[in-house]
């Protein structure tokens, strides 16, 4: 019953095993000599000056979220376009309704000033 999953199980075991093996094995082999510079996070050669955790303007998130929303909208439109010739008028109306709801949201966000910087 479960036989189709056996390869997957083997895969999981091998993958985990490999990761563990490399970590453990290199840990056993390598010399342990630490200093401050060595322990710093690797950042393209530029010395880290401050804590990585910092505040961002809330606007970044807003823009990002708006982007995701309209991005997903497009994702929906691709498959719709592919079978458009089978859905015909019904499909067109459906998509218009869908876009209309999004436009209402877009209009709301716009009027609320979500698109303005500062």
Binding site for another protein (CB under 8 A): 53, 55, 86-87, 90-91, 101, 104-105, 107-108, 111-112
CB atoms within 10 A of CB 38: 7
What is d(CA 14, CA 58) in angstroms, rounded to the nearest whole number? 43
With respect to another protein, which residue has the nearer C-beta, 70 or 107? Answer: 107
∠ at Cα 104 (102, 110), nearest 5°?
Answer: 100
Nearer to another protein, 17 or 105 (CB): 105
Query: Is 111 buried (19+), middle (13-18) or exposed (0-12) by CB count in 10 A?
Result: exposed
Q: How far is the CB of 90 from another protein (least distance, A)?
A: 5
How is residue 44 written in tokens?
A: 């393209």
Shortest Cβ 20–another protein spacing (Å): 25
Nearer to another protein, 20 or 104 (CB): 104
Q: How far is the CB of 49 from another protein (least distance, A)?
A: 20
Tokens representing 36 are: 């401050």
User: Between residues 90 and 117, which has the closer beta carbon with respect to another protein?
Assistant: 90
């Amino acid at each position: 019953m479960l036989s189709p999953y056996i390869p997957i199980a083997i895969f999981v075991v091998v993958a985990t095993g490999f990761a563990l093996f490399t970590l453990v094995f290199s840990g056993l082999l390598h010399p342990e000599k630490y200093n401050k510079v060595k322990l710093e996070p690797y950042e393209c050669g530029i010395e880290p000056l401050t804590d990585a955790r910092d505040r961002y303007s809330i606007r970044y998130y807003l823009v990002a979220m708006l982007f995701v929303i309209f991005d997903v909208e497009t994702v929906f439109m691709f498959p719709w376009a592919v079978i458009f010739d089978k859905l015909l008028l019904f499909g067109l109306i459906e998509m218009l309704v869908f876009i209309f709801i999004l436009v209402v949201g877009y209009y709301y966000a716009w009027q609320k000033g979500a698109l303005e910087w500062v």
